[in-house]
Structure 1
Amino acid sequence: MTISTAAMLLSPLFLLLDATNALAAPKYNAAGELIAPKDYREWVFLSSGVNMNYSETPIGMDHAMVDNVFVDPVSWQAFKKTGRWPEGTTFVKESRVGSSKGSINKSGIFQTEERFDLEVHVRDSKRFKTGWGFFIHEADKPAKVLPANTSCYSCHITHGAVQTTFVQFYPTARPIAIKAGTFDRRK
């Protein structure tokens, strides 16, 4: 097989990878607001948490909360190789109302269809002074970046185990970061 024949055979693969990368990249409207990713539930699932709270102040809700965290597949592939999140990495934290009453459930908490909010964390050193931007989407409306003095930033900088991200809560990512030497064990 010649090099040109091999290139022709591989070109659809490269086109597919380019298309996947383009689909995963964060998208903004003309006002600079982040457009909520529509397909995030098809991304790589990293973790779930129930009633997690990073503050001493009680949440004060009359229901449970279940958070699901996803990362775009292109960034996950890069992370698996390096233990680092590349530029363009997009995390989505989907918060759903939890319930203990439904169907045949006798104990425990399950997530309902009712989505509370959608938080998005984007790595883009050119766009954001801290290298990352945080967004909270109401329904699926475009969202403005949260101001840099919002507690999300300082909390992630102080407690994020890998590049200001909470890899310590992602059971499949944590061992990769530890092996790569990028995991901050103090977090």
Structure 2
Amino acid sequence: MAAMAATSFAAAADDPVSANTHAPAYTADGKLILPADYREWVYLSSGLDMSYNPKAMASPSPMFDNTFVNPESYRAFVRTGSWPDKTVIVLEVRGSTGNGSINQRGHYQSGGVQGMEVHVKDTVRFQGGWAFFSFDDSAAPAKQIPVAEACYSCHSAHAAVDTTFVQFYPTLLPIARQHATLSAAYLEDTAELLESPAK
């Protein structure tokens, strides 16, 4: 009996879905519940005033985005170069300032969260496997962003790994290269960038 229990525990430890204590949670009507402890998850990277739209206007003060992923999915990615089912990636947006304390140059993050987006892999629930949810400045459960919105097609057309922008996560991109899990679309984008004349 003890041997069977140990075997079951070992199997669960090897299965990131079974062992995922941070899997996405939903309300009865299908809204995503914001993970309360996401800031205790694995930090992936921060971007400064990033936009995927060439016509986007720069904000008066640069905006930071911080990206976190549930630890079980991070460990699975390190092992395989791919995201397992029930991956949850949280991106929070914060404002910035350059005036404060002893700072003389550059910007640092300031104030509360001004917006939040969550990218969820749930292959049973969502067509295509992934879905986006926007929490704006509220922690109330959020409805799925409609699949017709541009975020889906943009991620599908340009993401480095499994519709996620691993190309902006410097600790994960080398792992994806090592496991040869980079998407054909991303490799094509990279080749075109290298071939383009310097501007």
TM-score (norm 1): 0.88
Which AA in structure 2 matches 1:174?
L
1:88 partner SS: coil
2:145 corresponds to: 146
2:180 corresponds to: 181
| Structure 1 vs Structure 2 CA RMSD | 2.7
1:35 corresponds to: 33
Which AA in structure 1 matches 2:122?
D
Q: Contact conserved, 2:49 with 2:58, CA < 8 A, in 1? A: no
Matched ranges for 1:92-171 at <5 A:
92-138=90-136, 139-171=138-170
Q: 1:21 and 1:181 mapped to 2: Cα distance?
A: 25
Summarize deviations over 1:3-36 as a string: whole Å, max 9, x none: 947966x969x69x99x94531001111110011
TM-score (norm 2): 0.83
The count of residues paired between Structure 1 and Structure 2 equals 184
Distance change (3 Å), C-alpha of 1:167 and 1:5: same
Q: 1:68 and 1:186 mapped to 2: Cα distance?
A: 27
2:53 is aligned with 1:47: no
Q: 2:154 and 2:2 mapped to 1: Cα distance?
A: 51
Summarize deviations over 1:102-142 as a string: whole Å, max 9, x none: 11111111111321111000011221112110001032111
Q: Between the two proteins, what is the percent identity of the paired residues? A: 44
Which AA in structure 2 matches 1:47?
S
1:155 partner SS: helix
Q: Contact conserved, 2:66 with 2:93, CA < 8 A, in 1? A: yes
Q: 2:66 and 2:158 mapped to 1: Cα distance?
A: 19
1:76 partner SS: helix
Distance change (3 Å), C-alpha of 1:71 and 1:179: same
Q: Contact conserved, 2:20 with 2:72, CA < 8 A, in 1? A: no
Which AA in structure 2 matches 1:186?
E
2:102 partner SS: coil
Q: 2:143 and 2:180 mapped to 1: Cα distance?
A: 34
Which AA in structure 2 matches 1:127?
R
* Superposition misfits of 4+ residues, deviation over 4 angstroms: 5-8
1:64 corresponds to: 62
Q: 1:158 and 1:99 mapped to 2: Cα distance?
A: 34
2:28 is aligned with 1:26: no
How far residue 183 of structure 1 moved from its aligned partner, in angstroms, is 1.3
Summarize deviations over 1:148-176 as a string: whole Å, max 9, x none: 01111011001100001000010111011
Q: 2:49 and 2:58 mapped to 1: Cα distance?
A: 11
1:24 partner SS: coil
Where structure 1 has 5 or more consecutive residues not aligned to the other structure, the ranges are none
